[in-house]
Amino acid sequence: METLREAARRLEQGETTSAALVDAALSAIEEREAELHSFLTLLPEVRAAAETADASRPAEAGALYGIPYAAKDNLVTEGVRTTAASRILEGYLPPYSATAIERLEARGALLLGKTNLDEFAMGSSTEYSAYGPSRNPVDPSRVPGGSSGGSAVAVAAGFCHYALGSETGGSVRQPAAFCGCVGLKPSYGRVSRYGLIAFASSLDQIGTLTRDVRDAGVVLGAIAGRDPRDQTSVDAPVADYLAEIERGARGLRFGVPAEYLAQGVAPAVRDEVLRAADLLEAQGLTRRDVSLPHTPYALDAYYIIAPAEASSNLARFDGMRYGPRDEAQDLLEAYRRSRGQGFGPEVKRRILLGTYVLSAGYYDTYYLRAQKLRTLLRAEFSAAFDEVDVLLTPTTPTTAFPFGANTDDPLAMYMADALTIPANLAGLCAISVPGRPAGGLPVGLQLMASPMREDILLRAAAALEEAVR
């Protein structure tokens, strides 16, 4: 499928119509969706909306006007079923839309449907969806990654021009790496979280999945910015990211921290990162040595902090207002049955773990120490970014793994996010760009930059994309 910008150019020049773009998307979906299962809900009214967009196209339509996109099903959409891939939200019709959705709609974007995910965004393979897994379009015997697996599949398979996902520990970048598209996690606070069903509130961030880096800049420019409804959104200027990319990356400094190439990273993935480093140097970027010694402990800290916040956030889902509810003798039994049937095994595991680490006698031992480690990690990144503008690492330790390979071993599943989690803990902006495939499967190359420096991140990412192509 063409890029978002190519579609916008053809629309502007009258070479195509929004209705034709939607028809092409629906045709692609009809051909492969039964196999890949990227969507939980498709909107039948999108065809009529496309015709309306064609009939009322303004003279100065922006790059997103009349172009179909998809959104992860943990972003609430007014009047459209939103489940977070959980039985406990089955049939839920939100009375409002997420800010990111509103901002795209204000620019004339056409929502094609809501995409599959790991239940409540808790997973790394989309195998934990209550409605069945999505499949990798490159090799359907392998996982697409998670938790934004459905969004990555929809973009990689050509079902839509771009998609929204969400990140708590790598849930945009990791599936982008597995499926071979571009996944951007903005800095914490860059994009409003209003309307994002919360997993871990100090980590969650809405991100983008696109076909190339410049498209990521276009979509980010549309959804970024301060939102008074989200007190964690930052009042920082939103750059013209396409103009920033055109400045080029020559003269930027980058580092390749050794801790991200350590044991557990597949040799083919490590080799591709080192090749990419050489290519960046050839493009005029300067390489410097950096070290992040606390990186190996980030995974441990994350799986204390994130479940702790999840256990608090998910307390509201009690089966009283929506979702399954059985008759019971008392309120406690009603809660027990509703949550027992409504939540899947991974969500239950994380609720139990989070409740445990926050309980009396264990808070200081686990949660407080994890937060101290998070502070150390942030300080290390800050020191590193005094020396370099961006960091280059693998996005994932391996390429996409087969279905069922890690479902019986939660620790092995959690390791899939070992290289993406540090950016979430530190609130950085980060992006995954496709490298050269290994064994026929996509390899993701990750770049990270200081908080609120998406301009620098995208400049470097565009140079990396061009170099490894």
**Backbone torsions φ then ψ of 32, nearest 5 degrees:** -130, -10
Answer yes or no: are the C-beta atoms of 451 and 241 closer than 8 Å.
no
Cis bond before residue 147 (omega within 30° of 0): yes
Choose the catalytic residue: 86, 124, 147, 450.
147
- Determine which helix (DSSP H) or strand (DSSP E) holds 288, and give its type and residue range: strand 286-288
Choose the catalytic residue: 18, 38, 72, 192.
72
Report how many helices (DSSP H) and strands (DSSP E) the chain contains, helices first: 16, 11
DSSP letter for each residue of 133-148: ----SS-TTB---SSS
Considering only CA atoms, which of 420, 396, 409 is closest in space to residue 265? 396
Residue 114 appears among annotated catalytic residues: no
State which amino acid sits at residue 354: G
- Determine which helix (DSSP H) or strand (DSSP E) holds 375, and give its type and residue range: helix 369-387
Residue 450 appears among annotated catalytic residues: no
DSSP β-bridge partners for residue 164: 71, 208
Choose the catalytic residue: 86, 97, 148, 171.
171
Answer yes or no: are the C-beta atoms of 116 and 134 closer than 8 Å.
yes
Considering only CA atoms, which of 292, 343, 289 is closest in space to residue 315? 343
* Mutual angle of helices 18-36 and 46-55, in 10-degree steps: 160
Which tokens in the block code for residue 378? 């942030």
361 contact partners, CB below 8 Å, separation of at least 6: none
Residue 348 appears among annotated catalytic residues: no
From the centroid of its chain, how far is CA 441? Answer: 20
Active site residues: 72, 147, 171
